[in-house]
Amino acid sequence: MSTAEQLYFAPISLKRILFAMDFSPGSLLAFPYAVSIAKHYGAKIFVAHITPAEDYDVVPDASQAESFEASMEENLSGPMGKLRDIPHELVFDHGSICSKLLATAENRGVDLIVLGTHGWQGLKKLLKGSTAEEISCLASRPVLMAGPNVSRTSEFRRILYATDFSPASQHALPVAFSLTGAYKACLFFLHVNDWDSGEPPSKASERTYNFFREQSRFYGYDDSIRNRSQVIVDFGPRSDLILAHAHHHNADLIVMGIHTNKGVKARIAAHLPGSLTYNVTSQASCPVLAVPDSYS
């Protein structure tokens, strides 16, 4: 049985989007992408503002909360926000940002989480950690992360899908196909042989082209979209080459699979040198959509 026949995915539905809002530059950078996807999929946006547990003493009372909600609604519905014409709901809570956002995603039946990240590296990441990486490691649904260098349009006209043929990257593929169709985008199907994969370089190209043809047929990927696609095979360090190809092809979005962790492992990962997905997110000029290996 082929790889495609072993996997089954229901049609991708991005009808309920959770956007994490803290008024930081990072979250404001991420917001247009939540709006764009909501418009293309006819989705509702849940705008969540979580007051961190350490700031519990600044949680507004009832009258302050009403004023804060009105201010937030006004900011996100203006010319830059454009939330006014999209079904939405404001969600306020306090406590652990990661656990509260994930609980909100679960309770609201969310299909996608959108958030910004500082993209901290080195000692700063070790000390402060990355909430975005912790969330992406724990989430059971896709997480779109906008890093500090994001400058690309929120209309995804050129999508880069990166695969290493792992279960995680295979779970990301139907999401990449769905977005390519929804946005009528060009798809760059990238496989990087990183020398440590054990894959003979002579087989990398053949395997990639066969995999693309097999998967596109399986998902009903029509000729019009296939004609807007390009299969790319490269050799070397994965993070560097994904970033290089995203830059070279002016990608508006990078789609990748991510291996999920649970509990303590995810919290530790948030402080360690970044995963491949986090490293790409922290440097890319476009957002990265991380799809967990548990997603179906």
SS3 of residue 74 by DSSP: helix
138 and 24 assigned to the same domain: yes
The pLDDT assigned to 3 comes to: 42
- Of 75, 23, 65, 15, nearest to 45 by C-alpha is 15
pLDDT digits (tens, 9 = 90+) for 44-103: 999 998 887 665 555 555 555 566 666 666 666 665 557 778 899 888 888 888 889 999
The pTM of this model reads: 0.85
190 and 248 assigned to the same domain: yes
Residue 208 lies in a domain: yes
For residue 156, pLDDT beyond 70 = yes
170 and 279 assigned to the same domain: yes
Residue 9 lies in a domain: no
CB burial of residue 127 (10 Å; 0-12, 13-18, 19+): exposed
CATH number, residue 65:
3.40.50.620
pLDDT digits (tens, 9 = 90+) for 160-188: 999 988 888 888 999 998 999 899 999 99
pLDDT digits (tens, 9 = 90+) for 258-284: 876 654 444 444 434 457 888 899 899
Which tokens belong to 253?
Answer: 């979005």
pLDDT digits (tens, 9 = 90+) for 29-44: 899 999 999 999 999 9
Domain count, the chain: 2
Helices vs strands, H then E, count in the chain = 12, 10
